[in-house]
Amino acid sequence: MKNNKNLVIKIAILITLISSAVIWRLINHNLGLLPNLELITTVTVLAAIIFGARAAIVAPIIAIIASDLVIGNSSIFIFTWSSFAVIGLGAILLRKLNKQPGKQILASAGFAIASSFLFFFVTNLGVWLQGWYPATLDGLMTCFTLAIPFYRTMLIGNLILVPLSVAGYQFIRTKIAAKDLVINASIS
């Protein structure tokens, strides 16, 4: 009975994480609030540290595909989707620090920087490779230069949201562990 309840809770958490990324992406797209401020990296990290490898890859892909079905995506979708899959693979490393909260929070800030750069590099390389800019070094530099404002928004968002969400996860995890300790001690 307890295992079924835990499974239901885990599924609900994962659905909530994915839904929040999709809903934010739809709202942000429709209102044009902050281009490239996304929750997918945060959801990916939380899926990785809470659930493990499969969720770290599945959660961002489902979120990006679901939101792309509504708002559409350009021909660079393969670069976008693959970037988030690689980010999911990298996020698995953060799970290894679950029992070291301070290190995990600090590492998540570094991960936010690395994942933002990876997404920036891969997606803009994809834009350039598809001929949106001249197939020259100047064209590549122009492509990357014009994308800097989008990168800045993603980087700042990830630097705030990823460590904050990991800190929140660690806080909740610690409270649950303390509660379980008290309950188990009173039963003994």
Distance CA 61, CA 147 (A): 23
Q: How many CA atoms lie within 13 A of 55 on its CB side?
A: 21
Q: How many CA atoms lie within 13 A of 74 on its CB side?
A: 10
> Based on the structure, what is the number of domains in the chain?
1
The pLDDT score that the predictor gives to residue 7 is 85
Q: How many CA atoms lie within 13 A of 76 on its CB side?
A: 18
The pLDDT score that the predictor gives to residue 188 is 59
Average pLDDT by stretches of 10, the chain with 188 residues: 82 95 93 87 96 95 93 87 94 94 96 97 96 96 95 95 97 80 60
**Could you tell me the residue range of the domain that residue 25 belongs to?**
2-187
Burial label, 23 (beta-carbon count in 10 A; 0-12, 13-18, 19+): middle
The pLDDT score that the predictor gives to residue 179 is 72
Whether 157 contacts 120, CB under 8 Å: no
Distance CA 80, CA 36 (A): 12
| pTM, full prediction | 0.88
Torsions phi, psi for 34 (to 5 deg):
-140, 95
